[in-house]
Amino acid sequence: MSPEEFRRQGHAVVDWIADYHSRVESFPVLSRVQPGEIRSQLPPGAPEQGEAFDQILGDIERVILPGITHWQSPNFYAYFPANASGPAILGDLVSSGLGVQGMLWSTSPACTELETHVLDWLVPMLGLPEKFLSTSSGGGVIQDTASSASLCALLAARERTTQFVSNRKGCDGRLVAYCSTQTHSSIEKAMKIAGMGSDDLRHIEVDKNFAMRPEALARHVERDIKAGLIPCFVCATVGTTSSNAIDPVREIARICRDHNLWLHVDSAMSGTAALCPEFRFINDGVEFADSYTFNPHKWMFTNFDCNCFYVADRKHLIQTLSILPEYLRNQGTESGAVIDYRDWHIQLGRRFRSLKLWFVIRYYGIEGLRHHIREHVRLAQQFVAWVRDDSRFELAAPAQLNLVCFRLRSGDHANQLLMDRLNRSGDLYLTHTKLDGKFTLRLCVGQTNTQARHVERAWQRIQQETGKLGNS
Ligand SMILES: *Cc1c(COP(=O)(O)O)cnc(C)c1O
């Protein structure tokens, strides 16, 4: 494809994306296709001869679009958001255009230095501790997902605890780690991958607000030590996936300090709220964490994938993950004056992902970002008030930020029916969890373009369908 053809087709693609965003509300939010429906429209084998670009783009509209669940619809309230924005998409496009592989500082100095710089910007933006700055003992890195970041934290904890012996000899089977019953499943997966075994992850009980009970944590740790085991890692969550519960990080940190355990804080979605000083209470105690992670690709208008991972002391992470085969040796690395991010995560190669984050932060400014976060929280709180005022419903967990967990009082079956009917209508999309053993609906306000009218309409539709349930 010549630069001239690229220019022409590129304009067509950008037009298509802009049109998509302007009509995204007209599609059913949850895709309606049946399993196999998309594949059945694709030729069984790859084309022998090249095809016209117009034809390829046409198939996006014809074949692909029906199989899309519209995460960028303002009526998307499911899971946690994966929101995006114009500047983020364009930043990603520039990253593709440059086509850089930034595994080492020397393979594109700007890729490393912009990333370090933007991650340093975020530390005061979010009120995070200064030890996470690259100019102190720690530093930040962009990873693909919170799952990968938490795996890296667990590996570094494992190595710090065993004086880096596990890296050479493997685990001796006595290492144990702790999270709560509400912790994201990525920690269990990390235990499997790290060779520590999911049986050696203790799921600590939670209180009535679904936050970890620190006294239960202390009890489990002491029991394990008595049994000859070696506790090494605790994951505290700020904003659990199920109900947005906030673990008491400060009290958990005290236990971690007493027993020299690595404290990792997972704030995948809610971390973004700390842009606003009034929500910074969520960071209470984070100054004691050994590592911290949050996803700009959830709630910070930066399209997937973009996770930020910070460590308080980078040497543990680097010593855990560093490798230096002959073919990667270079003067920059030898000088010791540069960061080589290949030593900060699992994979070697890496994209220039800081560009999209840089575009987002510069385009909105901190005040612009705060404006949208505040608006999402305000709309979620408005929804909370409506639920409170309707005696058919109850709130299932405290809603401190942008996630509302609620349910009909009339039982699991009614809630399941209500959710299925709403989602099938295509007017909105929400998902569920189980809290206290009960089927609970989750409504998370976090899509970039969700406005008051969308949340009002969502509540109207919920009320309508609830009314019909009563009659059926
Ligand atoms: C979404 C979520 C994750 C997983 O995020 P990925 O980036 O998809 O790996 C981890 N922890 C929490 C608390 C989450 O909400």
Beta-bridged to residue 176, according to DSSP, are 231
Contact predicate 201/178, CB 8 Å: yes
Q: What angle do CA 369, 291, 262 make, to 5 degrees?
A: 155
In this predicted model, what pLDDT tens digit does every residue of 33-52 receive, in sequence order?
A: 999 999 999 999 999 999 99
Q: 146 CA to middle of ligand 1, Å?
A: 5
Q: How many helices (H) and strands (E) does the chain have?
A: 15, 11
* Cβ of 272 less than 6 Å from ligand 1: no
* Cβ of 184 less than 6 Å from ligand 1: yes
In this predicted model, what pLDDT tens digit does every residue of 335-348 receive, in sequence order?
A: 889 999 999 999 99
Give yes or no: residues 275 and 384 share one domain: no
- Rounded CA gap, 189 and 191, in Å? 5
Examine the fold and report which residue of 351, 383, 411 is the final residue of a domain before the chain moves on.
351
For ligand 1, pick from 145, 295, 401 the residue to mutate: most ligand atoms within 8 Å of CB: 295
Buried b (16+ CB within 10 A) or exposed e, 265-302: bbbbbbbbbbbbeebeebbebbbbbbbbbbbbbbbbbb
- Rounded CA gap, 247 and 237, in Å? 6
Residue 91 included in any domain? no
State residue 472's pLDDT score. Answer: 56
Give yes or no: residues 246 and 307 share one domain: yes
State residue 334's pLDDT score. Answer: 81
Atom of ligand 1 nearest to the CA of 269: 15
Residue 143 included in any domain? yes
* Cβ of 270 less than 6 Å from ligand 1: no
Domain containing residue 326: 100-351
Give yes or no: residues 40 and 17 share one domain: no
Identify the helix (H) or strand (E) that includes residue 378. helix 354-389
| Model confidence band, residue 172 (pLDDT cutoffs 50, 70, 90) | confident
| Model confidence band, residue 320 (pLDDT cutoffs 50, 70, 90) | very high
What is the SS3 string spanning 47-60? CCCCCCHHHHHHHH
How many domains would you assign to the chain?
3
In this predicted model, what pLDDT tens digit does every residue of 346-365 receive, in sequence order?
A: 999 999 999 999 999 999 99
* Cβ of 407 less than 6 Å from ligand 1: no
Q: 236 CA to middle of ligand 1, Å?
A: 13
* Cβ of 249 less than 6 Å from ligand 1: no
Peptide bond into 305 cis (omega under 30): yes
Give yes or no: residues 169 and 246 share one domain: yes
In this predicted model, what pLDDT tens digit does every residue of 398-450 receive, in sequence order?
A: 999 999 999 999 999 999 999 999 999 999 999 999 999 999 999 999 999 99
CB atoms within 10 A of CB 401: 25
The one-letter amino acid code at 79 reads Y
Give yes or no: residues 248 and 319 share one domain: yes
Atom of ligand 1 nearest to the CA of 295: 7
In this predicted model, what pLDDT tens digit does every residue of 7-24 receive, in sequence order?
A: 999 999 999 999 999 999
Examine the fold and report which residue of 289, 318, 351 is the final residue of a domain before the chain moves on.
351
Identify the helix (H) or strand (E) that includes residue 180. strand 175-180
Q: 410 CA to middle of ligand 1, Å?
A: 31
> Helices in 322-451 by DSSP H: which ranges?
331-335, 354-389, 412-425
| Model confidence band, residue 175 (pLDDT cutoffs 50, 70, 90) | very high
* Cβ of 186 less than 6 Å from ligand 1: yes
Q: 447 CA to middle of ligand 1, Å?
A: 16
Residue 277 included in any domain? yes
Give yes or no: residues 298 and 346 share one domain: yes
Q: Output DSSP code: residue 247.
A: -
**The domain spanning residue 253 has which CATH number?**
3.40.640.10
Residue 95 included in any domain? no
State residue 471's pLDDT score. Answer: 64
Residue 357 included in any domain? no
* Cβ of 92 less than 6 Å from ligand 1: no
* Cβ of 237 less than 6 Å from ligand 1: yes
**Location of structure tokens 């419903």:** 393
Q: 238 CA to middle of ligand 1, Å?
A: 11
* Cβ of 269 less than 6 Å from ligand 1: yes
Residue 93 included in any domain? no
Strands 262-266 and 291-294: parallel
Q: DSSP 3-state assignment of 408?
A: strand
Residue 90 included in any domain? no
Beta-bridged to residue 294, according to DSSP, are 308
* Cβ of 82 less than 6 Å from ligand 1: no
Give yes or no: residues 22 and 41 share one domain: no
User: Which residue's alpha carbon is at the smallest distance from atom 5 of ligand 1?
Assistant: 146
User: Which residue's alpha carbon is at the smallest distance from atom 7 of ligand 1?
Assistant: 145
Q: 179 CA to middle of ligand 1, Å?
A: 14
Give yes or no: residues 219 and 325 share one domain: yes
Q: 268 CA to middle of ligand 1, Å?
A: 5
Q: 437 CA to middle of ligand 1, Å?
A: 22
| Model confidence band, residue 330 (pLDDT cutoffs 50, 70, 90) | confident
Whether residue 470 has pLDDT greater than 80: no
Whether residue 331 has pLDDT greater than 90: no
* Cβ of 320 less than 6 Å from ligand 1: no
Q: 349 CA to middle of ligand 1, Å?
A: 22
Q: 186 CA to middle of ligand 1, Å?
A: 7
Structure pTM?
0.97
State residue 105's pLDDT score. Answer: 96
Half-sphere exposure at residue 334, Cβ-oriented, CA atoms within 13 angstroms: 6
User: Which residue's alpha carbon is at the smallest distance from atom 1 of ligand 1?
Assistant: 268
Give yes or no: residues 172 and 241 share one domain: yes
Q: 147 CA to middle of ligand 1, Å?
A: 6
Residue 134 included in any domain? yes
| Model confidence band, residue 245 (pLDDT cutoffs 50, 70, 90) | very high
Give yes or no: residues 42 and 146 share one domain: no
Give yes or no: residues 221 and 319 share one domain: yes
Write down how long the chain is. Answer: 472
**The domain spanning residue 375 has which CATH number?**
3.90.1150.10
Contact predicate 83/356, CB 8 Å: no
Instruction: Using alpha carbons, select from 459, 418, 457, 424 the residue that is nearest to residue 439.
Output: 418
Torsion of CA 253, 185, 449, 441, to 10 degrees: -100
State residue 148's pLDDT score. Answer: 98
- Rounded CA gap, 76 and 179, in Å? 29
Give yes or no: residues 239 and 323 share one domain: yes
Contact predicate 106/329, CB 8 Å: no
* Cβ of 345 less than 6 Å from ligand 1: no
For ligand 1, pick from 148, 179, 182, 241 the residue to mutate: most ligand atoms within 8 Å of CB: 241
